[in-house]
Structure 1
Amino acid sequence: MELLLTYDVCTTTPAGRRRLRKVAKLCEGYGLRVQNSVFEIVCTEAELLILIDSIHRLIENTEDSIRIYKIPKGSFKSVRAIGTAQVLPHGDPLIL
């Protein structure tokens, strides 16, 4: 499945800034960052459940906001990037 994940973590406190770094790090393990707080993710239903559980453990429900959109398969192939944005290769092998 393909997902678009966005987050807004309150960073007015040191604890909030730590949460932001942890959420970003978690998302980097699942997908590709396309903007500061936006990730394109290709995963299975099981991986999505693990991701959601991990996010619940990291954020403060009264201060932070996470949005996950399930989008039709193949949507990332039809992305139109404008300006400095780049279309990212989701199907290509990752080189670490």
Structure 2
Amino acid sequence: MENYFFDIQEEKKDDRVFVLIIYDIVDNKRRVKLAKYLQGYGFRVQKSAFEATIKDKIYRKMLAGLPEFVTDEDNIRVYKIIGKGQVLNIGKEIELESDDLVII
């Protein structure tokens, strides 16, 4: 079991956001391209899920690029989480690449 916490303040001094991006893209080619796009912003936590702790400006840039991967059959959901949070992972552990997370 893996358990980690994040603390993203809503104050102006800290413009980082924690985001969870999940997607259901029907076409394999577009799905692979989306995964490569998201790897530039965060890290994969499941086959169709990415997490990232990024500055708000980068977050807006990431959002602007998402529509090119979506058709009427597809869906991308982006959860922007501000404040204190906890992620509990049960099962296969993932390697985290961010210094902003504390693993316990």
| Bin for the TM-score computed over the shorter chain | 0.7 to 0.9
Which residue pairs with 1:69 in the alignment? 79
Structure 1 residue runs without a partner (length 5+)? 11-15
3-state secondary structure, aligned to 1:39? strand
1:88 pairs with 2:64: no
Checking the alignment, whether the CA contact within 8 Å between 2:43 and 2:97 is kept in structure 1 is no
Which residue pairs with 1:30 in the alignment? 41
> One-letter code of the match for 2:25?
V
TM-score normalised by length of structure 1 = 0.76
Counterpart CA distance in 1 for 2:83 and 2:58 is 16
Which residue pairs with 1:13 in the alignment? none
Checking the alignment, whether the CA contact within 8 Å between 1:31 and 1:42 is kept in structure 2 is yes
Counterpart CA distance in 2 for 1:5 and 1:57 is 15
Counterpart CA distance in 2 for 1:39 and 1:73 is 19
Tell me: higher relative CO, structure 1 or 2? Use CA pairs within 8 A at least 6 residues apart.
2
Alignment RMSD (CA, Å): 1.8
1:53 pairs with 2:64: yes
Larger helix proportion of the pair: 1
How far 1:87 moved relative to its partner? Answer: 6.5
TM-score normalised by length of structure 2 = 0.71
1:7 pairs with 2:15: no
Structure 2 residue runs without a partner (length 5+)? 1-16
Larger strand proportion of the pair: 2
Q: How many pairs align?
A: 84
